[in-house]
Chain A
Amino acid sequence: MNEPVVELDGITKRFGDVVANDRVELTVDRGSVHVLLGENGAGKTTLMNVLYGLYEPNEGEIRIDGTPREFDSPRDAIDAGIGMIHQHFMLVDPMTVADNVVLGNEPRSRLGFTVDREAAREAVTDLTARYGFDVEPDAVVEDLSVGVQQRVEILKALYRGADILILDEPTAVLTPQEVEELFDIFDELTDQGKTIIFITHKLGEALGVADAITVLRDGETVGTVDTSTTSKRELAELMVGREVLLDVEKPPSSPGDVGLEVSDLTVTDDRGVDQVSSLDFQIREGEVFGIAGVDGNGQSELVEAITGLDVPDEGRVYFDGADVTTDSRRDRIEQGMAYIPEDRQHRGLVMDFELLQNGLLGSQHDPDFAPGGRIDWATLRQHVEDIIADYDVRPPNPDATAKSLSGGNQQKLVAGREFERDPRVVVASHPTRGLDVGSVEFVQEKLVELRNEGKAVLLVSSKLDEVQQLSDRLGVMYEGAFTDVVDPDDVTEEQLGLLMAGQDADGVTSVPAGDFEAEAEVGR
């Protein structure tokens, strides 16, 4: 079945001087899964936004089913059977699944004044049955996990008549289990003639599900390869143009004193439900403590309590033995805490500011950058230029706004800014989310380097291979508490999966979560 359904021909998209897409060629066959690969800033998102009518290309032609089309807006694209699932879900949280799916195209009751809810429910039930989705139409969206919300987004696109589904890094926020489920859905959809284009940075995924893979580099098409004839290494090389280490080297740890301690920590949400319940652990200097778990099991709340964005309801947080539980966020920054937040666009960067001013975020009261409360632009510029160079932020222009950067480059900037703080404690929440293989390697190496320099590192990530590779000890979180703390070298993915689901896994060796005080005392 080699019938092209989407043809992008010579697409060029410029933003000022930046050429995001440079005569890109892309042909996608009907009923196939097509993966777009490429380094951060290669132009993948831009290309998909062009196809979805969000951007008008400067040059080039879009053909759908062989017919040239011009899209003025996503409406036109939707009418042509294209649906896009953004990584940020555009769902209305307090509404039900059925309401969300039909939103904007509601079936009307006979007089046309009210929404026919029954018909809406039925339509959604039909859809879920047809594609074998495990989604309850009456469930309220805010109670659903990220993976299920994503399915609701897909349903929404299907309800609007999409034949071609575009997904921008859909797996970045999913757990391995959820990724599997998503790919099952892809199978079902393509069986029924739908076409899927998705962007990912995970080579294994691309090889696992794609029929064809198109690689972009610097805005240009490098080529399209058949999945059956390629390998991870080849793909990585195509993307980056050099060989990439797919494993980070980590020397044995030589931990020192306790750098970060969480004791009996409880955080409840607005509804009074415990998100973190009586959690205890210690991280020693020169050690990476990893936290694995399905998103929404209290990781975010734990991180916010540690970093000072939230005050815990009970329990204490200590830095180097000093109680910082009620210290402000600013105090904690000044005491040497670096923090990569999970949400770079919301928290980690001021999107309307240039990279230059973003480099100041968190250091605006640091006398090095603002002696006497007056910003020293020259020093700041030098610092930001160094970060841009070291972390390979592209385009390397300190005066570009943060929002003009690709997702991965935004992440590199945040990582660079935080790592270069010369911290004592590092809290990294999904530090490599959205990064290409080359940058993942770089950021992971940096984390290990910081650990080797004797920092206490807390790593939260939904990438199991990442937490397993980088951590010295690994806590598995479920419903606000650890099901177990394990030696990451001594546990299998299956065992982790069980632990993450809150079950016991046979045969894993637990390691202590803390209580190194005595030991460290002796070591001195």
Chain B
Amino acid sequence: MNASDLPSSVRRLLGSLVDASVRERIAISVAALFASLLVGAVVIMAAGLVATCKEPFLALGGSSFCYDPWEVYYQLFVSPFLNDFNTALMLKETTLLLFTGLAVAVAFRAGLFNIGAQGQLVFGALGSALAVLWGAAFVPTGVVGSLVLIPFGLVVGAVVGGLYGAVPGLLKAYADANEVITTIMLNFVATNVAFYLVSTYFKDPASQSVETKSVPAVAQLKPVLGRFESTSFSVWALLTGLALVVVIYYLLFHTSFGYDMRISGIQPAAAAYGGVDAERLVVGSMVLSGALSGLAGAVYVLMVLGRWRTGIPAVGFDGITVSILASNNPLGVVPAAFLFGILKSGSLSISFALGVPKQLVGVLRGLIILFVAMPEFFRMVGLKLGVGDRQPVATDGGRPVEGGDDDE
């Protein structure tokens, strides 16, 4: 499709999105958030009108409204900060999504769409659980044990995730297999193979479900702050995630390797000209992305469950949305993951505190994410189509730049 075929109003709109500065883009996201709340309020009222309940919060003439939007939003956005349990839940989700959001963002920057974060996470989690269970025999208990076992578990998780990420990387680099397809398939493979391995070889005999034995207490990431005692959130994990945000940001924007990744993602022909070995870069980026996903898996095991258990939540898939929300910028991953954390914890509170059906809460969450992600999404579309004043118009000298095409 050609930009000049679009109606001028659409072109102008896309154009202004493309040309928006970072500050403007943040403002747009915030505005979108409020717009989504307004639309959500209408949905809540409408749902409340249709539903029947004993005590409607509002009765107008013959119709009654069951759900109070104000109440719903209060639970959704404020309750995560009100008690330790809710806060821990919020931060736990945020922490995990920092890792997977970064994983997807890193691959995106290199022009790779890693839908396989989930599979890499599942294997990373399993690797980490098994390694720690094995290693526990050799280390003393106490602080020393924690200092050895936890980093060991994290590293093994990253290595396993990285190796599993290498598979679609190698397939793309040397067999020209599209990474979107292969990573989707490898997600199924990971889930099923892990299930098989655990149920046949590593199952905890004392348990009914398909899960490994619990890792020893020394290897678990404990909540260090008193407030979060008895919750499954560790500040250490959050800090590790935040530190990684900085590391990945630095890597992408201040190192030679990051430069290679970015030019490969944005203009492969120029990358080849600049001496980037496309094959090696694809593999390297996928390994890095997989390692970050695997790390998420390790954190999940060591912080949340204390073991590997089938039915790992879709943190890897949510990482894709987080990355898009962050427009694939590592720094943007922080607020995006935080928003997801709030929504996760808040929707649970709604279900507890109010009689609002789960499905409605799901719709609200979806609405918010959709609205916030929409401007970024259309910005990407605009960039692809080449609209906007600051875009080149392919009139003189050479071909226009087509970001995605690789002529290797």
Contact = CB atoms under 8 A, between A and B. Distances in A.
Interface of A: 15, 45, 48-49, 54-55, 72-76, 84, 86-88, 90, 104, 168-169, 172, 199, 309, 328-330, 332-333, 339, 341-353, 357, 360-362, 364-365, 370, 373-375, 377, 401, 403-404, 406-408, 410-411, 433-434
Contact of B398 (A345, A360, A401, A406): A345
A364 B272 contact: no
B254 A375 contact: yes
B274 interface: yes
B319 to A, nearest CB: 25
A329 B397 contact: no
Interface of B: 2, 4-8, 11, 254-257, 259-260, 263, 266-267, 269-270, 272-277, 389-401
Nearest to A365: B256
A404 B390 contact: yes
A86 B395 contact: yes
Contacts of A364: 256, 259-260, 274-275
A348 B4 contact: no
Nearest to A404: B390
A407 B396 contact: yes
Given A74-B4, A370-B255, A168 B395 contact: yes
A373 B11 CA distance: 41
B273 A403 contact: no
A160 B4 CA distance: 15
23 contacts: A73-B8, A75-B4, A75-B5, A87-B397, A90-B2, A168-B396, A309-B272, A329-B273, A333-B275, A341-B273, A343-B399, A345-B400, A346-B269, A346-B270, A346-B399, A349-B270, A350-B263, A351-B401, A352-B401, A353-B266, A365-B256, A403-B390, A406-B396
Contacts of A410: 397
A216 to B, nearest CB: 14
B391 A329 contact: no
Given A309-B272, A361-B274, A345 B399 contact: yes
A367 to B, nearest CB: 10
A328 B280 CA distance: 12
Contacts of B393: 45, 49, 54-55
Contacts of B2: 90
Most buried by B among A49, A72, A343, A364: A364
Given A88-B399, A345-B398, A345-B399, 5 more contacts: A84-B395, A87-B394, A87-B398, A330-B277, A346-B270
B259 A86 contact: no
A251 to B, nearest CB: 32
A73 B4 contact: yes
A15 B270 contact: no
Given A328-B275, A345-B400, A45 B395 contact: yes
Given A87-B397, A169-B397, A411-B397, A370 B272 contact: no
Contacts of A104: 5
Contact of B397 (A74, A75, A344, A357): A344
A15 B389 CA distance: 7
Nearest to B8: A72
A170 to B, nearest CB: 10
B307 to A, nearest CB: 39
Contact of A373 (B8, B255, B273, B397): B255
A404 B392 CA distance: 7
Contacts, number: 144
Closest 3 CB pairs of A and B: A330-B275, A407-B397, A72-B8
A205 to B, nearest CB: 16
A434 B11 CA distance: 29
Contacts of B277: 328, 330
A104 B2 CA distance: 11
Contacts of A332: 275
Contacts of A90: 2
A361 B396 contact: no
Contact of B396 (A45, A342, A357): A45
Contact of A55 (B269, B276, B389): B389
Contacts of B267: 346, 350-352
Nearest to A308: B275
B184 to A, nearest CB: 29
Contacts of B254: 374-375, 377
* A350, A403, A406, A434: residue with the most chain B Cβ atoms closer than 10 Å: A350
Contacts of B6: 73
A73 B11 contact: yes
A342 B6 CA distance: 32
B387 to A, nearest CB: 10
B245 to A, nearest CB: 18
A87 B395 contact: yes
Most buried by A among B6, B11, B392: B392
A181 to B, nearest CB: 21
A169 B256 contact: no
Contact of B392 (A84, A345, A347, A434): A345
Contact of A49 (B273, B395, B401): B395
Contact of B275 (A45, A199, A365, A373): A365
Contacts of B395: 45, 48-49, 84, 86-88, 168, 407
B397 A434 contact: yes
Given A328-B275, A329-B275, A360-B259, A352 B396 contact: no
Contact of A88 (B8, B259, B391, B400): B400
Contacts of A403: 390-392, 401
Contacts of A342: 398
Nearest to A49: B393
Nearest to A331: B275
Contacts of A352: 266-267, 401
B263 A361 contact: yes
A357 to B, nearest CB: 7
A199 B396 CA distance: 10
Contacts of B275: 328-330, 332-333, 362, 364-365
Nearest to A48: B395
Nearest to B276: A330
A39 to B, nearest CB: 14
A171 to B, nearest CB: 12
Contacts of A330: 275-277
A84 B255 CA distance: 42
B6, B266, B390, B399: which has the most chain A beta carbons within 10 Å?
B399
Nearest to A104: B5
